[in-house]
Structure 1
């Protein structure tokens, strides 16, 4: 991370030189000139599903054409259809030049990477220098490691536009009305703040607990409450879930529910409904991701008096939060315009463009120079500061049937219709049978 102006200046010059080299190659191949106003001799197509930032992407594409003469045609595709559309287009040999990725660098994309339809960007001239502008952890999140099980040639295959993490957000007006002068850092303080919010008629805490956010919140407290040794043993099938440690973890949610922390009917809320409740000023706190800033701006542009804070920890040990690489795209390796497509994505992730992207979309820019050195919205900055507090990536994960059983059990615990001990026992049964309980 750049710590001094001189270092940052050197990096900017190096990035500019790399960008110039790739653009020069693209212009030499296509024969187009920059800023002539003539019809482009090269046109590249970019499929994406980011409706919330379509306007800023179009603006940047227009700016790029004015600078280089290369036209970028942006096509919106429904997010849940991207994978199917890409597969069908691959079979019909009608792929775009660039596509927003619907999957991380893992098993699904490995098939396309091995077939050359997802380009290894590290293998391109200047590819290594290009990816120096991102944090090492971000690069790792868009790359296939040398020892990956899918035998994909190692390197960076996805281009990160932003990063994300999940924290708590709070309504400053409701906190003032409730007389909450200190942000909660422990569960006891969290409960106390919630009681004060209920006293003024506000729902204390909301999130999309009918789906994945409940698992994300649980992952924080698993990491915070259960020792690494116990986690590893359970994930490997050598330990047990029906133990005191796992039962006490589940009991965190029972305690919070009994104290009235959770909004009424929270297990029936998906994330859009939870975000609407918070953005309408009816809830004091929400567990959400950095992308929520853009959602709130779209949902209620007048709702601006809110802040971000790290979720409360169980004790003295700092709580780690979920997060990682956010929106990504890749160059289609079978495209006749690989160099031009790579040049556009490199330009798009350079500092000036990343700043415009961040200010318009309210996302944390992946370019570390922008994330750390340029003036950003205070809430974007607060999320950006969370980048060094993420749950450490690991290959050890909870078994899928156990995750499903735990999520369902947590909903029942929050609703007051089940107990931590009973849920822990069902998690163990799910481990033993390989079936959700």
Structure 2
């Protein structure tokens, strides 16, 4: 799953850029804003609020343009933006509550989220991996009647791996993180024998589908995934049953921490950061959460989910937080200039080191990264590509509920596969 779904924390954004006569984006603001210009910036980044204020103060000192940061709960930002659009009281900048798609399309179509095609073509786009910029753009023939082009600007990128407690591993006599599924199960049982809760995750929510995605790619493989999602291979085929069988093995191994099957993100992350679980499946954003919740907890590492099949391991991930300039703002140009400044290499390096989020600007990924953030960054080329057709939503819902039952011993891989096929044929979740 890419982070349009990893979307765990709905995140998106857009900007418009007016390029000065020099012909390309500069890492320094041009100072075109008036001294009394104030830009209102709505965001939901509670874990980065202090850092954003630091950037705002720095920008005002350099340019005279002030940034009024307004914290809005992420689950209400979309509704607040809609109400403000109707009332004509929109901000100048905003974090996006959703990625490119039906939730943001009406505002992009009406120009309330600015089209950045000209600005990106002038050189701004060079800062970002093509896959990240693609995730921030409405493509040709998008079906929403939005002119194609980039509307959202990536602030960071993500991928999901397994984090582990080094002290617990050492006490259990485990010298290296597991690289195969069998070794992963064995390590979990070794940790349990040593008195630790071996593994936890947010399996009560969407990360269960993300963990499944790792093994869809690793066990089923790209060609068979395309065939299944394209309707020429059934979900009852042997590779799908084999993939679901991994969860049967996981449930029977006795290595899941209490509550894993119903946990949400805060619950699972709290177990790990407070030393109550030895392993956690989570995203790169978790590093910032750990720093905020328990700054003294540093003795942990990161490893790629172990292989269980013959196909390459692919990770859920992609673009993370995104921001946008409001196209109807009278300060649109100044808003874009600030966002250009915010995504330059210097700011992105600071953003990465202070927030422990992977920077979207590729030039900011260097040797100065935190060790664990660097481990996430090193696996960036393992992120699963976007397929022509994704798994239908009703099938995914059926699968995740079915895997939860498998983990609890209440269903079988064959039974869940049959329900997934029925969901595909009827268009209704089972």
User: Same-fold call, TM > 0.5?
Assistant: yes
- Residue 99 of structure 1, aligned match among 94, 100, 103: 94
Residue number in structure 2 paired with 1:43: 38
**Residue range with higher mean Cα deviation, 223-232 or 412-421:** 223-232
Match of 1:385 among 356, 363, 378: 378
1:35 maps to what in 2? none
Give the secondary-structure state (helix, strand or coil) at the position aligned to 1:106. Answer: coil
107, 111, 121: which one aligns with 1:116: 111
Question: Residues 290 and 387 from structure 1, CA distance in 2 versus in 1: closer, same or farther, beyond 3 angstroms?
Answer: same
Residues 23, 340 of structure 1: 8 Å contact kept: no
Give the aligned partner of residue 140 of structure 2. 146
Query: Structure 1 residues 85 and 127, CA, compared in 2 at 3 Å: closer, same or farther?
Result: farther
Pairwise CA distance, 1:20: 4.7
Give the CA deviation at 1:257.
1.5
**Structure-1 residue corresponding to 2:327:** 333
Which has the higher mean CA deviation after the structures are superposed, 208-217 or 242-251? 242-251
> What does residue 149 of structure 2 align with?
155
Q: Tell me what 1:275 maps to.
A: 269
1:54 aligns with 2:34: no
Q: Please give the secondary structure, in 2, of the residue aligned with 1:175.
A: helix
Say yes or no: does 1:302 pair with 2:296: yes
User: Is 2:76 aligned against 1:84?
Assistant: no
1:31-430 alignment, distance < 5 Å: 32=34, 40-124=35-119, 128-371=122-365, 373-430=366-423
Partner of 1:107: helix, strand, or coil?
coil
* Distance (Å, rounded) in 2 between the aligned partners of 1:430 and 1:317: 26
Where 1:203 maps in the other structure, the secondary structure is coil
> Which of structures 1 and 2 has the larger relative contact order (alpha carbons within 8 angstroms, sep 6+)?
2
- Once the two structures are superposed, what CA deviation does each residue of 1:38-60 show, in whole Å capped at 9, x if it has no partner? xx321111100000000000010
Q: Distance in 2 between matches of 1:211 and 1:20?
A: 41
Q: CA deviation at 1:123?
A: 2.3
Farther off after superposition, 380-389 or 258-267: 258-267
Report which of the two structures shows the higher radius of gyration computed on alpha carbons: 1
Equivalent residue of 2:398, what SS? helix
Alignment RMSD (CA, Å): 1.8
Sort the Cα spacing of 1:17 and 1:292 in 2 relative to 1 into closer, same or farther, 3 A. Answer: farther
Question: CA deviation digits over 1:352-377, x for unaligned, max 9?
Answer: 11111111111001110111x34110
Cα deviation 1:159-184 (Å, max 9, x = unaligned) = 11100000000000000000001210
| SS at structure 2 position matched to 1:336 | coil
CA distance in 1, matches of 2:275, 2:406: 27
For 1:266, what is the secondary structure of its paired residue? coil
Residues 72 and 257 of structure 1: CA distance in aligned 2, closer, same or farther (over 3 Å): same
C-alpha distance after superposition, 1:220-266 (max 9, x if no partner): 11111114343223223343212222111110110121112322332
Residue 431 (str. 1) matches residue 427 (str. 2)? no
Q: Which runs of 5+ in 1 are unaligned?
A: 1-13, 33-39
User: Which secondary structure does the structure 1 equivalent of 2:42 belong to?
Assistant: strand
* Counterpart Cα distance in 1 of 2:28 and 2:57: 19
Tell me the TM-score normalized by structure 1: 0.90
Q: What pairs up with 1:1-12 in 2 under 5 angstroms?
A: none
Residues 202-223 of structure 1: CA distance to partner in whole angstroms, max 9, x if unpaired?
1111001011110000011111
Instruction: Give, in whole Å, the separation in 1 of the partners of 2:419 and 2:203.
Output: 20
List structure 1 segments (4+ residues) > 6 angstroms apart after TM superposition: none
d(CA) in 1 for partners of 2:389, 2:346: 39
Write the distance in 1 (CA, Å) between the matches of 2:242 and 2:311: 17
Cα deviation, residue 335, structure 1: 0.6
**In the alignment, what sits opposite 2:7?**
none
Aligned 8 A contact 1:191 1:259 in 2: yes
Separation in 1, partners of 2:367, 2:57: 24
Q: Is the 8 A contact 1:45 1:96 kept in 2?
A: yes
CA distance in structure 2 between the aligned counterparts of 1:225 and 1:119, rounded to whole angstroms: 41
SS at match of 1:66: helix
